Amino acid sequence: MSNRRNVTPNDLSAFWMPFTANRQFKKAPRMMVAAKDMHYTTSDGRKVLDGTAGLWCVNAGHGRPRIVKAIAEQAAEMDYAPAFQMGHPKAFELANALVSIAPQGLNHVLYTNSGSESVETALKMALAYHRVKGDGSRFRLIGRERGYHGVNFGGISVGGIVTNRKMFGTLLTGVDHMPHTHTPGKNQFTRGEREEGGDLATELERIVTLHDASTIAAVIVEPVAGSTGVLIPPKGYLQKLRDITRKHGILLIFDEVITGFGRVGTPFAADYFGVTPDIMVTAKGLTNGTIPMGAVLVTSEIHDAFMQGPEHVIEFMHGYTYSGNPVASAAGLATLETYKEEGLLTRGAELASYWEDALHSLKGLPHVIDIRNLGLIGAVELEPIAGSPTERAFSAFVKAFEQGILIRTTGDIIAMSPPLIITKAQIDELIGTLGGILKTLE
Ligand code: PXG
Ligand code: PLP
């Protein structure tokens, strides 16, 4: 006799949903069934304006024909080919295309399937790099409070979001954290880069002094911290991190999973800030959110350090079954073509001041204690309800969904990052609807 439960296809209990309050959601599900350009369609047939590019990934908007066609054609022509000791042309083509839009000096690409895997790949690369150079005492990894680097063990170890870490034991050893750059009481309602706090980068010097530079392999930061609630770096901060890491022979890793592919108005945040890391972590916008894929870009200096010794020996003992998957590669190529054709990697710069003005028009509405923005990223921080943090922002999220706009909340911060194809009228609609909701919140 079968011991299988009798379930209907739309029984919601089997799928244990990620980063979701499962019981709450399943009582009142919010289901999307279709998406085109700037809009989702819900299961009850309503259009919802996408104010978040899905989860910061659908940078060219939804259902873009070139990408859809490339995926369908590649799946039919060759769905999969082994990635180890074998190749297929599109993975190489995509690597070249990526290098051609990346900050100068980042010349080599390793593929993954997500931001989390890209982070693990970058951290392992940093450790192995020092080791192949004969500098194996550099084993420490330095992250930052409030940093988000995905959910795998390396990422939560260097990450600094307490709730993502506290359940999971000892994590990686040899990790330390710089302070975050959020300075309540200063900098509220700043437009763009924050005026104060650049000196926080010198905290890295203190950490280097504590552990000695000879034990530190790499520093990893998000150029703009996204998931933790959009923390825009203070002026000069990233350049200082670059200066300190270079001085001490420490690798600098930028996690550009959110900031990559036009989000801040330049192809990468490294371009915006004029600071080039040694390793750049990407995912999300690489395939416009269609097929899971990430990419880690590294300098020739790092790559070449591995290309020593006998040629039959595998240089870096790392990789995934789906690294450079053909369908993902085809999606990536078509995505980069779409970005190029429509100028999307720099469109954020054209819209940034309109976006900024629209966002800051919410200043003065009830409960709004800070507004932050850069490129096409925006955040509105609300005063938490005493004794019930997150509830106020979550209720804004639910009302927004009901009123036809998609926003994200983290804690009591509302984050927005619309597809880069958004029009000014749609910015007005998004911010206007949100403003109306803020007026009605408890
Ligand atoms: N690094 C950074 C900087 C990220 O923002 C990851 C790594 C992990 O990527 P994957 O593909 O493994 O999820 C991320 C992901 C949000 C939100 O609402 C942000 C992310 C994911 C889901 C939601 O802020 N960032
Ligand atoms: N677990 C087992 C038993 C495997 O055989 C493999 C890959 O061969 C993995 C995990 C890793 O899977 P992936 O390469 O998709 O990350």
Structure tokens given for 294? 């990430």
**For position 292, what pLDDT does the model report?**
98
**pLDDT at residue number 442:** 86
Q: What is the pLDDT of residue 208?
A: 98
Q: Which of 25, 68, 17 lies closest to 289, judged by CA?
A: 68
In this predicted model, what pLDDT tens digit does every residue of 136-177 receive, in sequence order?
Answer: 999 999 999 999 999 999 999 999 999 999 999 999 999 999
Distance (Å) from CA 321 to ligand 2 centroid: 7
Residue 3: per-residue pLDDT: 62
Comparing CA positions, the residue from 388, 377, 396, 407 lying closest to residue 438 is 396
Q: What one-letter code names the amino acid at 179?
A: P
Tell me, in angstroms, the distance from the centre of ligand 1 to residue 420's CA. 18
Separation of alpha carbons 256 and 271, rounded Å: 11
Which H or E element spans position 176?
strand 175-178
- Tens of pLDDT along the chain (442 residues) come to 456 667 777 899 999 999 999 999 999 999 999 999 999 999 999 999 999 999 999 999 999 999 999 999 999 999 999 999 999 999 999 999 999 999 999 999 999 999 999 999 999 999 999 999 999 999 999 999 999 999 999 999 999 999 999 999 999 999 999 999 998 888 899 999 998 888 999 999 999 999 999 999 999 999 999 999 999 999 999 999 999 999 999 999 999 999 999 999 999 999 999 999 999 999 999 999 999 999 999 999 999 999 999 999 999 999 999 999 999 999 999 999 999 999 999 999 999 999 999 999 999 999 999 999 999 999 999 999 999 999 999 999 999 999 999 999 999 999 999 999 999 999 999 999 999 999 999 8
Mean per-residue pLDDT over the chain, rounded:
96
Residue 189 has what pLDDT?
Answer: 95
Q: Ligand 2 atom 15: the closest Cα is on which residue? A: 321
Atom of ligand 2 nearest to the CA of 320: 14
How much helix, strand and coil, in percent to the nearest 5, is found in the chain? 40, 20, 45
Ligand nearest to the CA of 253: 1
- Ligand 2 shell residues, CB under 6 Å: 320-322
Give the closest residue (by CA) to ligand 2 atom 16: 320
- Whole-angstrom Cα distance, residue 429 to residue 405? 9
Nearest CA to ligand 2 atom 4: 321
Of ligand 1's atoms, which has the minimum distance to the CA of residue 259?
Answer: 3
pLDDT at 9: 73
Question: In the prediction, which pLDDT does 200 show?
Answer: 94
Measured in Å, how far apart are the chain's first and last C-alpha atoms?
Answer: 54
**Nearest atom in ligand 1 to 227's CA:** 24
Cβ-count burial 299-322 (b if 16+ within 10 Å, e if not): beebbebbeeeeeeeeeeeeebeb
Q: Tell me if 229 sits within 8 A of 148, measured CB to CB.
A: no
Probe ligand 1: pick from 258, 259, 409, max atoms within 8 Å of CB?
258
Q: How many CA atoms lie within 13 A of 298 on its CB side?
A: 22
Enumerate residues lining ligand 1, CB below 6 A. 55-56, 114-116, 119, 148-150, 222, 226-227, 255, 257-258, 283, 408, 410
- Tell me the domains of the chain and their CATH numbers: 22-64+343-440 (3.90.1150.10), 67-341 (3.40.640.10)
The Cα–Cα gap between 166 and 110 comes to 30
How close is the Cα of 20 to the center of ligand 1, in Å? 14
Q: Which atom of ligand 2 is nearest to the CA of 322?
A: 15
Residue closest by Cα to atom 6 of ligand 2:
321
106, 298 Cβ separation under 8 angstroms: yes
Please choose from 161, 257, 268, 414 the residue to mutate so as to test ligand 1's pocket, defined by most ligand atoms within 8 A of CB.
257
Q: What are 133's two structure tokens?
A: 């150079």
**Per-residue confidence (pLDDT) for residue 2, from 0 to 100:** 54
